[in-house]
Amino acid sequence: MELDTNEAILATQAALAQASQLAVQYSFSIIGALLLLFIGWWLSSLLSRWTHAGLMRVRGIDETLARFFANVVRYGALILVFVTVLGQFGVQTASIIAALGAAGLAIGLALQGTLQNIAAGIMLLVLRPFRVGEYIDTGNISGTIVEIGLFATELRTPDGLYRLAPNSILWNVPITNFSRETTRRFELKIGVGYEDDIELAQKIMRDHAEGDPRVLKTPAVATHIDQLADSAVILTMWYWTASSDFWPTSREMIKKVKKSFDENGISIPFPQVTYHGSPQMVALPERFVDTRAKEA
């Protein structure tokens, strides 16, 4: 009985000694892990700030893009710190890295469309085919840019509607930017009657354009006969304005030219068909007769 008691005491002392040894050993590991976490957290924040500040010094880099890359650097550094901390406790980090890689691949496949939008958003922010406040048209989507994000772009349509377009759609199509250039050319086409004074009509168009202070002097206003159509002589006028004046100038110009044509007796004919007949010809049924212009 006494022997069993001694054996129990010796086993307890051995267990306590081993526990104290493990406690000392793992206490150093825990302290080292905490130090690594603290230093890693501080370094990741510092690297993130440096990345953001460095990118903002680059001309043309968007604030959204700079923050995105700064966050990528920060979380990448934190992942490295986490793997290093696990190594402090004897965990096989190779298997963890392999697991993270497999998880990243699975997430990438699951979020393929989202990642396409992120990649397209980065390219849009780097190459800048459009900026906030500019009006664009892609054929299917048009409007004024409100905000360019990493996933989608916000637009406002001319009739005041809100539109959200995925970046992948905007990146994969041709884009017409109506606001990027500082000047724009307006082309006015008007058909006048064959019996009207063409020189007078061209002079009226030029006078209105050259008399408008919003029309640029260079390039100069130009008019020409575009074509001899079936019902009218098509006159064309070109003039240049600032992009901001394009729409109001063009609308007023059309109104002024129309009023001046009316005052000077210059007609803008409707499409018409002229029939030439003879007394020997059989009269056409009433439904085939164009009553707008007929010559018998």
C-alpha distances (whole Å) from 291 to each of 13, 46, 70, 238, 274 are 121, 83, 74, 36, 10
The reply to whether 215 and 251 lie within a common domain is: yes
Tally of domains in the chain: 3
Last residue of a domain, one of 62, 79, 110: 110
Does residue 72 lie in a domain region? yes
| pLDDT mean by block of 10 residues, the chain; 296 residues | 58 60 59 75 83 74 71 79 70 64 64 75 85 90 88 90 91 90 94 93 94 93 92 94 92 94 91 64 52 47
Q: Is 79 exposed, middle or buried (0-12, 13-18, 19+ CB in 10 A)?
A: middle
Does residue 116 fall inside a structural domain?
no
pLDDT at 200: 95
Same domain for 243 and 200: yes
Q: What is the pLDDT of residue 255?
A: 95
DSSP string, 145-164: EEEE-SSEEEEE-TTS-EEE
The answer to whether the Cα torsion of 52, 54, 55, 56 is positive or negative is positive
CATH number at residue 283: 3.30.70.100
**pLDDT given for residue 41 in this prediction:** 81
Domain span at 65:
2-110
Based on the fold, state whether residues 106 and 6 are members of the same structural domain: yes
Cα of 280 vs its chain's centroid, Å: 68
Say if CB 132 and CB 146 are below 8 A apart. yes
Q: How far apart are CA 116 and CA 207, in angstroms?
A: 53
The per-residue b/e assignment along 179-209, b for 16 or more CB within 10 angstroms, e otherwise, is: beeeebebebebbbbeebeeeebbebbbebb
C-beta separation of 117 from 148 below 8 A? no
70 in any annotated domain = yes
User: Collapsing DSSP states into helix, strand and coil, what is residue 226?
Assistant: strand
Quick one: 281 and 231 in the same domain? Answer: yes
